[in-house]
Amino acid sequence: DRKGSVAMVEYLSGKTFEMKQKFRDELLSTRLEDLKAMAPLFKKIREQGKVCVLGNEDKIQKSRKDFDHLVRIVT
């Protein structure tokens, strides 16, 4: 069961509710200016030809032709 697997991974990695909440709060408070400030880093990564995508598994699978390989982090 997916919930159990996620809970186990979080427990083993030491991830707490507070850590998840902090990440969520930071993500939701991100502004366009914050992303623009990261542009030099994004450009450097793009120049190296590396891409990392986190998202909905079904949608990523539908676009799998766009990726060299996929790695599932949470099972």
Residue 55, in any domain of the structure? no
Query: Does 29 map to a domain?
Result: yes
Examine residue 28 and state whether it is found in any structural domain, yes or no: yes
For residue 56, is it within any domain? no
Into how many domains does the chain fold?
A: 1
Q: What is the pTM of this model?
A: 0.50
- Its domain, for residue 28, covers 2-49
Mean pLDDT by 10 residues, the chain (75 residues): 84 90 93 94 87 86 90 74
Does residue 30 belong to any structural domain of this protein?
yes
Residue 73 lies in a domain: no
3-state DSSP of the chain: CHHHHHHHHHHHHCCCHHHHHHHHHHHHCCCHHHHHHCHHHHHHHHHCCCCCCCCCHHHHHHCHHHCCCCCCCCC
